[in-house]
Amino acid sequence: MKFWGRKGKEEKKKVVITVCPVCGSTNIRKISPFSGWLTPEEWVCEDCGYRGPIVAEVEVEDEE
């Protein structure tokens, strides 16, 4: 995103990463393709086995 009056400085893009609230792993996915659409959203962590509706979302800067 460019701002008027700020030549040469551009804001870096932010990317949101879903993280397991128990172990901090990024190896987390929705339990099914219908999760959050037909049924309440539920997540499962492949590393620690966490299963539940709560996940952490971490915002990081995209390196281009």
6-46 tens-digit pLDDT: 555 566 788 899 999 999 999 999 998 888 888 889 999 99
**Which pLDDT score, from 0 to 100, does residue 18 have?**
93
For 56, how many CA atoms within 13 A lie in the half-sphere containing its CB?
14
pTM for this entry: 0.67
Domains of the chain by residue range:
14-61
Q: What is the distance between the alpha carbons of residues 45 and 37, in angstroms, rounded to a whole number?
A: 20
Do residues 55 and 26 touch, judged by C-beta distance below 8 A?
no
